[in-house]
Structure 1
């Protein structure tokens, strides 16, 4: 952890510049208390970049607005009912919240808000002690009533009050603890772990949207393994993602097979490593191009966003295996059809977690196609098959190739090298075809308007059938040109007419 003096120096510099300084001055002149709280203070001590400036105050929401309006370029009160006012000051987005205490009434899935009277009381009601640190402004005094600093030193996630009470107030905190274990690399303390196991059913009090958001944050961390394992060990996965613990298939001496659960986590870790590698290559290419143009953007410190679609697909790619497992002779285990079964299961689970439709379709598609590469033999595929593979993957082609490569976890070196060679060969052929035929934007040689004009049709099913015929031609034979495509279309249309009774 960063040295205390260094961390305080960072916090002091932050407090004396930009929006923090303006807010500190404005609240002090208004006679109101103000403190920088939570993540920014924690991250300053951990030597991490400081983002998301959150403040706490004794002022009520209406008073916060009065203080903030004169110094803000924009402000919003969408969180007023929870005591939160948002604003943009000097280009930075900030949130100022009245000291509060969140409690559940046992009926509603949303917290009941009660405003508090002091920063110490507010910090005691926060999720974990490492997030219950505050920097009082403008006096620059560290406020740590729960021992959060020592827990930062020890790398421990502990609740400020009894975990049963804390998780009872907001059961989502159980998932937040799991996410922080991966995000910060900290250990969930024994009391919090046991409380999570005992109170796991309370997660049903939380809306699917809030559960989804925590799961996405977990999957966005650099190393989600610890959180995923805790999700299963505490029993929370049985309630929010039951397909995951179901991957822990029973093993016995007669039927040897891989640990599908461990394999899935390994595939996720492989995918993250490959995702970062691909991002680094893109950044290097962009930087090289920018440097050649004399752009100041040649070097960028912006961290690319995590590819959550790819990561979730990697974690769930084999969830169809438990339902498709069959035992054969000599202890052989098969999972025929687990790819398309898993795709259906993925759609159902992610829809239940209220993922958006585009994400559901994209993740399910990757799950469905992740086995397609395994019939790419030593002789490879025809150009037509390569085109169809690219068409079926669509805009997810690069993600699918990463997933397929990440799925190679065998310890058999010869098998691994054969699979890697096959993927390399396929990627080279895709690149060649893309360059030759503009594979990324593959379309029939004739568009819908041309089809309707040539065949004298109106919009309808027959136009779609004609377009599919031309697209299949394009995939099988490559670009034909407008003249040849017209001849083929007319011949196809004539044969259809002749075959009709």
Structure 2
């Protein structure tokens, strides 16, 4: 091991969170401790952060003996005594930091179904650490730091794969991925998170096994259940999109996962677009380009340091999902997609609900928000600022500022991914819209109280309740947002004058 790598791992091992180990090793001198998995990988890649998950494997000590020592040093929770895993929080550690996982070496015997967690697990405190590493999914995760000898254990050459920037299955790819088919999704997620390629044989196995992700198996209660629950699929898909949305979409397509899990997207491939507006190519190409815009540094700069929410990324990925079903080739040669926004909105919501994307922890994914963004994604492109009502702009962009910002960000990506045949994409229209919204924001319903209530409108004009009152209130609001009136007396004068003109 080169000295630079040793320094990185020693720095990781000396983190304050792991300070308790020196006391434990003194009290339990026969115990052997290893830092394993993602933390070791990320340390070697200089990707460690303060909220890094830390996973330890301990040999040479039993549960009761270890518990007795750890309980003096912090909070210990047993994750099922049959599972051989402890969650430990050292005394004085920040509650914002994740608990440390402590486990005994184990072997796993797959049940053969390919189902998530269909394993017979055997924990053995005397099992060599190399056998524990042999059960892991990818070589870059089959690494361990030996605290006693200050050395890296790398029986499957994961360090070489880190240098080559490869995701490679441990041992036989078909066998390893077949044990738990969610590993196909993990391979893509790691490729997106780390910027790695997937090693050739591992990739071939992913493509070969992808159709099995929709398989079912019979549970103990004789019910048919998915081999890989939608909740697991959702978690991996969202993590991949979070890490690198455009690359994730490309890998989903190349692996066959679009056909298997996201069939609504497959028809975007080959759906042509009018070349005068979309010289970039078909709907799929446009969508990938839009996602590249969403994760670009230019996006962050344009939106003053903001990064897109996962809802925005999903809306970008799904905004043209309705085009393949609404394409119309006109006799004069031009192409249109009338209604693709409303039809696509329904399809997008159904996809989000079917895959249970809202189940992903620590993420906000609302099917109705995705529906709304796709439904209105054309508005910023087509709006005529000289004639649109101010109340319409306020309702779409200002009454719910978060939704309005997401819609603007979706439009940014859509515009820059639409490359006209005779020139470069332009943000001029979007900038004008955003300038208009800045002027309106101080007078929006969300920030400013309306000058007159419905009762005051009726009293001013001597009207009874009815539809006419609602129409007049809307006109009054329009005048207020347009800056024509500023106080209640002026609002009453405006109403009286308006009625005279009518």
Tell me, yes or no, whether TM beats 0.5: yes
Question: Structure 1 residue 5 and structure 2 residue 15: aligned?
Answer: no
**SS of corresponding position for 2:264:** coil
Q: 2: distance between equivalents of 1:464 and 1:69?
A: 70
Residue of structure 1 equivalent to 2:314: 312
Counterparts of residues 186-265 of structure 1 (less than 5 Å): 186-204=196-214, 205-221=227-243, 223-249=244-270, 258-265=281-288
Question: Structure 1 residue 16 and structure 2 residue 39: aligned?
Answer: no
* Distance change in 2, residues 1:268/1:194 (3 Å): same
Counterparts of residues 42-441 of structure 1 (less than 5 Å): 42-50=41-49, 51-58=52-59, 65-72=67-74, 74-78=75-79, 82-89=83-90, 90-91=93-94, 92-93=97-98, 94-102=100-108, 103-106=110-113, 109-116=116-123, 117-204=127-214, 205-221=227-243, 223-249=244-270, 258-273=281-296, 274-277=298-301, 281-282=304-305, 307-356=309-358, 359-377=366-384, 379=386, 381-391=388-398, 394-408=401-415, 409-412=417-420, 419-435=426-442, 437-438=443-444, 440-441=446-447
Q: CA deviation at 1:343?
A: 1.2
Q: 2: distance between equivalents of 1:325 and 1:98?
A: 58
Q: Which residue of the other structure, out of 471, 474, 477, is the alignment partner of 1:474?
A: 477
* Distance change in 2, residues 1:13/1:377 (3 Å): same
* Distance change in 2, residues 1:25/1:136 (3 Å): farther
* Distance change in 2, residues 1:249/1:80 (3 Å): farther
Per mean C-alpha deviation after superposition, the further-off stretch among 77-86 and 111-120 is 77-86
**SS of corresponding position for 1:115:** strand
**SS of corresponding position for 1:247:** coil
Q: Contact between 1:34 and 1:55, CA under 8 Å: does it hold in 2? A: yes
Structure 1, residues 386-427: CA drift from partner, whole Å, max 9, x if none? 32332576421112111101112233387756x521111111
Structure 1, residues 188-236: CA drift from partner, whole Å, max 9, x if none? 1111111111111332311111111111111111x33333212111112
Q: 2: distance between equivalents of 1:141 and 1:176?
A: 27
Q: CA deviation at 1:250?
A: 5.0
Q: Contact between 1:320 and 1:345, CA under 8 Å: does it hold in 2? A: yes
Q: 2: distance between equivalents of 1:65 and 1:486?
A: 76
Q: 1: distance between equivalents of 2:403 and 2:113?
A: 43
Count of residues paired in the alignment: 454
Q: Contact between 2:234 and 2:357, CA under 8 Å: does it hold in 1? A: yes
Higher helix proportion: 1
**SS of corresponding position for 1:261:** helix
Structure 1, residues 238-293: CA drift from partner, whole Å, max 9, x if none? 222222222102559999973111110110111222543256x35xxxxxxxxxxx
**SS of corresponding position for 2:357:** coil
Give unpaired runs (5+ residues) of structure 2.
Answer: 215-226, 359-363, 459-464, 496-502
TM-score (normalizing by structure 2): 0.79
Q: CA deviation at 1:64?
A: 5.2
Q: CA deviation at 1:484?
A: 8.1
CA RMSD of the aligned region, Å?
A: 3.7
Q: Which residue of the other structure, out of 23, 26, 34, is the alignment partner of 2:24?
A: 26
Q: Contact between 1:25 and 1:138, CA under 8 Å: does it hold in 2? A: no
Q: 2: distance between equivalents of 1:4 and 1:240?
A: 43
**SS of corresponding position for 1:407:** helix
Q: 2: distance between equivalents of 1:164 and 1:315?
A: 30
